[in-house]
Structure 1
């Protein structure tokens, strides 16, 4: 079996969303910007050989799953938001074997001069 998080991958970076996730009442009421970076492990051999979208996974479909997962469930923690997204990606795309997701919150309500708060999850599809 291949080592986790190696091999072919689809990468989507800086997916921007506006959401109401967070611990504080102001975050729930006012919302803020979030950015997501994704890497999805999947075999891209057939798509590369055939040049057919049907042989791979549509980036637009990935985006739609991420957007729905991000927007439909309000969570307090970035970790929980990211896990919901990972769970939905595994559910929707059988060919995805692992996911690395970074969820960034550039306007986190903490004293930062520059920078952002972020988390990163590394998840493999569970063996069935």
Structure 2
């Protein structure tokens, strides 16, 4: 299956378990892969035959900034849900959410989660 990749999308949001994270916020990075059949776009060179990248970014942005979550695992799932709503042609999604400012007990490092989901009803 064909894929569209969006990488290093950066958003400022307020996710996390700790009060400081809710108050101060921080940057989150998102990598997104959407699998779908792009053969019509490849043949026609017509915009309508593909998924709008800007629309995908807006859906991810709304998922990241629209609701506060304790866990980046839940944030990743919300992004997947939003992407599936964006375009019915998308059959599978992989999303990686990175939290560069995660409160880790070492001087530097990042935390991230990655999930992959098929559209409900697709195996």
Classify the TM-score, shorter chain.
over 0.9
Which of residues 79, 82, 103 in structure 1 aligns to 2:76?
Answer: 82
1:61 aligns with 2:55: yes
Q: What's the CA shift string for 1:18-40, capped at 9, x where partnerless?
A: 01000000000000010000100
Q: Indicate the residue corresponding to 1:116 in structure 2.
A: 110
Aligned mate of 2:98, from 93, 99, 104: 104
The 8 Å contact of residues 55 and 86 in structure 2, kept in 1 or not, is answered as no
Name the counterpart of 1:47: 41
Contiguous gaps of at least 5 residues in structure 2: none
Please state whether the residue corresponding to 1:10 is helix, strand or coil.
strand
Cα deviation for residue 113 of structure 1 reads 3.5
Structure 1 stretches of 4+ moved >4 Å: none
Gaps of 5+ in 1: 1-6
User: Who is 1:4 aligned against?
Assistant: none
Output the aligned Cα RMSD. Answer: 1.1
Q: Which residue in the other structure is 2:85 paired with?
A: 91
CA distance in 2, matches of 1:11, 1:34: 17
| Displacement of 1:91 | 1.6
